Structure 1
Amino acid sequence: MLRRIARRWLPRRTVRLRLTLLYGGLFLVSGAALLVVTYLLVQHAIHSRFQSFIPAPGSAPGPGPAGSGLLSGGSEMLSTQLQEAIEQQQDALMHQLLVQSGVALGLMAAVSVALGWVVAGRVLRRLRTITATARDISATNLHRRLALDGPSDELKELGDTIDGLLARLEASFEAQRRFVANASHELRTPLARQRALGQVALSDPDAPAAELRRAHERILAAGEQQERLIDALLTLARGQAGIAVRRPFDLGELVREVADARHGAGVAIRTSVTPAVASGHRPLAERLVANLVDNAVRHNVPGGQVEVLTREFDGRAVLVVSNTGPEVPADAIAGIFQPFHRLGGTRTGEGLGLGLSIVEAVARTHDATVTAVPRPGGGLTVTVAFPAAAFPAAAAGADNRGHEVSLRVR
């Protein structure tokens, strides 16, 4: 009940109200301390000044003529009365000082609260601008920015940080829109092919069995392409999701397994493998290596070759895949890692256009760097550098075997 009453009648505990109360409280505490110090100093000064003018009792001159005893007694009585009068005057003066100082402190405390409210409002004005603009920004107008001006203080830094966040969100949303559009196009193509093949086969009621068999084989091939595309999309999404648990694995062993499975692919695959320990998700790293090798084999020339090597450099596991093939323009390097991007701008071909996109996504998940440069004479050289792993090389094999099996079972 008390909480409900407090929520209804008390003002909302905003930052401006808290700052105002803080300013007023600090001024009140410091003013009270200053008042106490001033009161003690004034009391000490007045007491010392008036005591110097009052003769102490019994301090009359020495022996004198007859009747000096009567004068001495009167002098002591006068001194006592004077001292009492001065003390009363001193108390009244100090009381008046205390009352007037308290009234002045109360008035200045009220003024300080009002000034604190105004100052807090001016300080938080840009914060209110940030809040209002951020509230108005949605997924449809991520191009808007706060663009705060003024001194380079904490609020300006906060505004610049939010602008950077909005820029990254805009780029992410735009990439997502392009990816969804491209994925829809790529999935629609085999579906349209399947429908066309089925309609052609059914349009002829007297079609021979051999023709119907060929049509069904083409439909199955289109379905297989869909499966490969969906599997690639799932791998790309898994690579962009991040890794919860990192385990050590030998990158050189991965390269040997992938290269042995692809001998006889029509090009010569040469490997130069040395143990190189990395950490992360072994099946995803295996897909990275496989996609690089498959891309190097696919985009090659008859009788060409693919060179794959691993090594450790400054504690980092490094993978280099180089292949012969057609010349790759230097200005096309940045685009080949985009989903469904193919050199020449065509949207047809044997590949799905996701191989290098998966490579970049898996590398980013492993905090690795990917660089690609055109190879002199044609082809491409791709280098993937994994971060240094804090695992011994001997432990890179056994742990990941169990890890790989458990991931496949799930």
Structure 2
Amino acid sequence: MESSDCSVALSPGHFHNQGDEEWKRLLAGTRQRGELALVVTVVGRAEEDRPRNVFGPGGASVHLGDLFTSVGGRRLPAGTRPEIAPGVSGADRDLAIRMLTRPADAPWWSLQLSGVHLVRGDGSGTEEHHPPEGELHPILVDALGDPVVAAWSSPAGDQRWYVVPDDTGWDTVLGWLVHRALPEYVPGALRRARSPFFVDRDLQTADEQSARQALDELEAQYAEEKQRLAQMLREAEEKAKPVRYGLLYGSGSELADAVAQVLTAAGMSAVDLDEELGGTKSADLLVSAEGAPARLVEVKGASGPAQESFIGQLQRHLETWPQLRPGIPVSHGVLIVNHQHKLHPSERSADVYMRPEHLASLASLPVTVISAVQLFNWWRAGDWAAIRSAVLGSTDASVPTSAPAEPTQPQTDRPRWRWGRRQ
């Protein structure tokens, strides 16, 4: 077709005999008709291991229009999971949803507007700086809020460029252009072509308009509710991440902090004894709750099997406790061990200790042994009563009012060590 009759350009060229003339004719045609010129351009090269930037090292970039303006950036790490930018609606939101269906290993590039710095080649050393023009509207953003899919609008408002990453299927782009972008931005193009995908609302019946309005309202409500739930999910994930990682893969203070958060969520008071007493004079935590005796809690991490000496260390803490805080009686200790933490939780042994002779010696000791994985499973299910019972020895199964309202689920048998015997 004659390019001046077109309304959309796909990756237009900027060099003689490589698309520059066709692009200029398309732009002249849209201006004559008073229409918006739509462009879809691709950033980056998926087959390259490292980013490419024709304007400088370390990135990929594409030129926009006839201006001294480009958009592009660095290739993001593998596994990047973009999100829909806040406030995106209409055709742009539909593009965002379609782009999120790309394969999990598909590459992404961060995007930003850039101008150009020129130095005259006549030897005079004269420099010219051209700042970027137009505005970049994020559609999908990375974890830092930087756009990875965006729309650029020209200063005059007569061009709208969509920048998508390489390795994007053109069927996805073309389907979006015909069904959403053109009807929203250039409806005259589909009207001229008498496209079956164009619905002229001025020619619709009252029933059609009513159904269309109801559908639009439903889609708006869905988008609002989805955004609200997505925000709830992000907040829940941010809250759970440090506890989950600490319990399953942590050691030292990271593991102790995660255990303290879990015990506090279960309605218990957890005092950091290193901070309270100064140094490492006793166990990690002093745990208590109304109506139950206090417990010393020792938290240990082990990349392999748990050392049997952990029990002896907790016993010494119980013996020296009366000299440290004689006003707080403690006769029982709890050992929480994150053993084999270099393995996935599903690959670890269910029990902290398995040697029969050692298990027999634990029977007479005032010590409870709990694996960090078991504590994690109770925590993620919101089984606060199980946590209180395991740590405090309480038979009261009521959930404390201080515990957060989280969903519970039926529990299977909960293996734990109490007084050295399997319950």
Larger radius of gyration: 1
Q: TM-score per shorter chain, which class?
A: under 0.3
Select the structure that is richer in helix.
1
